[in-house]
Chains A and B, each alone.
Chain A
Amino acid sequence: MSELNIRETMKQLMEASGVSGYEQGIASLLKEAFSHFTNDVRTDKLGNLIARVEGEGAGPRPSVLLAAHIDEIGLMVTKIEKGGFIRVTNIGGVDPRTQVAQEVVVHGRDGDYIGIFGSMPPHLTSMEERGKAAPLADLFIDIAMPEDMVRDKVRIGDTVTIRRTPFELKNDRISGKALDNRASVAAVLECLAELKRLKVGVDVLAVGTVQEERGRVGAGPVAYGLQPDIAIAIDVTFGDMPGAPDDSSFPLDGGPTILVGPNSHRRITADLEATAKQLNIPYELEYTQADSGTDAFALQVQRGGIPTSLVSIPLRYMHTSVETVCYRDIERAGKLLAHYIAGINREYVEGLSCYLKD
């Protein structure tokens, strides 16, 4: 199994598309990346991609599920207008204001077609109009073809994604679409690469979950099926930027965040933190009072309950096509997860269910 360039893999995953419910393409790309770590890769009934990386030594070994969702927010065709212009609705949380004047890819029946979200020229726009932001239903996509060709190639229900080549910014930062959550997929790959070096006695179930953006659809069933001893979701969290709330946004290049709150097993939170300190990995604590808004919320309550936590990558401009992360934070998250996993044994797992004092 050859060395995988994870940074480049992440960029390929970002540029590819996988709107919630339509993750097959992205799953097959990720399968190829997983194949550098294991031959045991499969897909479950919902489309979750599961890679089983066996640990060292005799079984049964404790198992840890790492869940990073592979779907992304996007759009779906609702109507083809006279002239061949395409109307869309959203899949997941999309701010229509960020869609105006973007290049898009319409994923048609037999191929992908490049389009542009249209805009009226300023020469013909009144000042009053410029004071209003159009709702998504008023926007339209132009795929630069006559109407009959559009009708032949595009159907109601086809998905649409923003077309964006990832950008390298200064200070190891990368910008583009779908870093939510391909940044976390990269963190899982970084973790697997580190585990290969560490040789641990733990089975790792690296999972690309589906339909997180539609309400964490994939994570529950996959955890139910795999019955891991511990589950850790990896997702993105809000990067600091002007206007972001101080108590729930985090600096880029300040390290991953570790969840504090009822959605995280308190011992795992503490041990992740201790691991980070031990390794001199910078980190931040993310305080969440109930639902973390991630796969972790679904993972925690499968079967008889699964000790769960969440590690997140700070990301600016979430749910836009210029999402931005610092790649060092991804490497740090991978390293943190790997070294935490290295400390897990049967006794540790059992201890996670012990709450009483004698």
Chain B
Amino acid sequence: MLLKRLTEAMGPSGYEDEIRQVIYEEIRQYADRVYTDSMGNLIAEKDGTRPGPKVLLCAHMDEVSVMITHIDNNGLLQFRHIGGIDDRILLSKPVMIGEKRIPGVIGSKPPHHQKPDERKNPVGLSQLRIDIGAKSREDALKYVKPGDVAVFATEYEEIGHRRAKSKSFDDRVGCAVMVETIKKQFDVPVVFGFAVQEEIGLRGAGPLAYRTNPDISLVLEGTLAADLPGAAPHGYATELGKGPALSIMDGSSIHNREFLAHMKSVAEQNEIPYQIRNTTAGGNDAGRIHLSREGVLSGVVSVPTRYIHAPAQLISLDDYENTILLVEKFLRSVEQGGLGQ
């Protein structure tokens, strides 16, 4: 199953080797050309039957993760984040380290040894350690070394009602939408850009957009959904099950108004539910792509994702399927000369 294969692959920012190979094998038979650049971006091109306009679809392959930075004499591993993680989600979680997926656990002090007020305070990164069962530093070095990267050991599963959880819907759900889209035929040339290093500051998408030089770009994301207890409805950002989310503005872009209006009308004409991403927080690769060269007409469609940047992220499979549909209809609209051509 595609979502399972994509979300369970490893891909810390800068270490996207495993996920890149998984995606390559999924798409190679559908593309006219597949190649990588010096940063590790994976690019697949489909020529179509007309010269243009050329559309870039872009999703990032990397995921939030950690890097081993030091091994204590007792064999426990110190680590730091790659990408934005709230330390409070780390306690008592299993992780997998490196290509060999060495299992480790992030330990936590027994409640019996805690002082009464201790539980009011989060445990900071400097106190957290990964335990792989090593007896000493020397023993640990047989299996891991500083610089190895680790991801959460979460399986993809469909749970509850039409929902799925995994460690990395941000942004493997965007990658999956692109894998489904590359299987379809379009008249216009379409570039499928699978970007590296989004989570540490949108590093891969700029070079990717420069090289592929698109006329139009659509970024596909797994974005935050905070439709949760304790949040005010105007702070939900997005809600699960209400359709793909369209962005007006975020930390990296004020999105093109014409693009937004066009996406809305594509959704409405095809009776695809959608919602407006109701927060300015966060950012994505559109922030780099729309400023590429002399500027690129860009937009974003996102699959709402609860518990983003945490070990178990949750999406609605209806939202996922509607996003695949919306992307297809968007490309059809470009074929038909839409979006101000």
Q: With A122-B309, A243-B113 in contact, do A100 and B89 touch (Cβ < 8 Å)?
A: yes
Contact indicator B107/A317 (Cβ below 8 Å): yes
Contact indicator B311/A169 (Cβ below 8 Å): no
B278 to chain A, nearest CB (A): 11
Q: With A133-B119, A167-B94, A245-B113 in contact, do A122 and B85 touch (Cβ < 8 Å)?
A: yes
Asked if A319 is an interface residue, CB under 8 A from chain B, the answer is: yes
Asked if B281 is an interface residue, CB under 8 A from chain A, the answer is: yes
A7 to chain B, nearest CB (A): 15
Contact indicator B160/A97 (Cβ below 8 Å): no
Contact indicator B135/A171 (Cβ below 8 Å): yes
Contact indicator A121/B309 (Cβ below 8 Å): yes
Which B residue sits closest to A238, measured CB to CB? B110
Contact indicator B89/A101 (Cβ below 8 Å): yes
Asked if A143 is an interface residue, CB under 8 A from chain B, the answer is: yes
Which among B11-19, B42-50, B229-237, B322-330 touches the partner chain? B229-237
Q: With A101-B93, A119-B88 in contact, do A320 and B107 touch (Cβ < 8 Å)?
A: yes
Asked if A132 is an interface residue, CB under 8 A from chain B, the answer is: yes
How many positions in chain B have a CB within 8 Å of any CB in the partner chain?
68
Q: Mark B68-104 against chain A: 1 for CB-CB distance below 8 A, else 0.
A: 0000101010000000111111011110000000111
Asked if B112 is an interface residue, CB under 8 A from chain A, the answer is: yes
A101 — which chain B residues lie within 8 A by C-beta?
Answer: 89, 93, 307, 310-312
Contact indicator A317/B74 (Cβ below 8 Å): no
Instruction: Determine the main DSSP class of B at the interface with A.
Output: loop
Tell me the chain A residues, 63-98 only, with Cβ under 8 Å from chain B: 81-83, 85, 93-98
Q: Mark A13-38 against chain B: 1 for CB-CB distance below 8 A, else 0.
A: 00000000000000000000000000
Tell me the chain A residues, 157-186 only, with Cβ under 8 Å from chain B: 164, 167-173, 175
Contact indicator A97/B307 (Cβ below 8 Å): no
Bound-complex Cα distance A96 to B120 (A):
9
A216 to chain B, nearest CB (A): 15
Asked if A345 is an interface residue, CB under 8 A from chain B, the answer is: no
Which among A144-152, A187-195, A257-265, A281-289 touches the partner chain? A144-152
Contact indicator B309/A169 (Cβ below 8 Å): no
Asked if A316 is an interface residue, CB under 8 A from chain B, the answer is: yes
Tell me the chain A residues, 305-330 only, with Cβ under 8 Å from chain B: 316-322, 324
Q: With A121-B224, A123-B224 in contact, do A238 and B308 touch (Cβ < 8 Å)?
A: no
Bound-complex Cα distance A106 to B227 (A):
21
Q: With A123-B282, A320-B92 in contact, do A146 and B161 touch (Cβ < 8 Å)?
A: yes
Asked if A274 is an interface residue, CB under 8 A from chain B, the answer is: no
Q: Mark A112-131 against chain B: 1 for CB-CB distance below 8 A, else 0.
A: 01111011111111000011
Among A85, A131, A242, A322, the residue within 8 A (CB) of B92 is A322
Asked if A142 is an interface residue, CB under 8 A from chain B, the answer is: yes
Contact indicator A144/B159 (Cβ below 8 Å): yes
Q: How large is the interface on A (under 10, 10 to 19, 20 to 34, 35 or more residues)?
A: 35 or more
Bound-complex Cα distance A93 to B110 (A):
9
Contact indicator B230/A132 (Cβ below 8 Å): no
Contact indicator B89/A119 (Cβ below 8 Å): yes
B108 — which chain A residues lie within 8 A by C-beta?
Answer: 95, 97-98, 317, 320, 322
Among A122, A245, A322, the residue within 8 A (CB) of B93 is A322
Contact indicator B133/A242 (Cβ below 8 Å): no
A144 — which chain B residues lie within 8 A by C-beta?
Answer: 159-161, 163, 165, 314
Which among B2-10, B121-129, B177-185, B287-295 touches the partner chain? B121-129
B229 — which chain A residues lie within 8 A by C-beta?
Answer: 81-83, 85, 118, 140
Bound-complex Cα distance A116 to B160 (A):
11
Contact indicator B122/A97 (Cβ below 8 Å): yes
Name A residues whose Cβ lies closer than 8 Å to a Cβ of B: 81-83, 85, 93-98, 100-103, 113-116, 118-125, 130-133, 135, 138, 140, 142-146, 149, 164, 167-173, 175, 238, 241-245, 253, 316-322, 324
Between-chain CB contacts (< 8 Å), 13 pairs? A81-B229, A100-B88, A116-B312, A122-B84, A123-B282, A132-B122, A144-B160, A144-B163, A171-B134, A243-B109, A243-B127, A317-B107, A322-B105
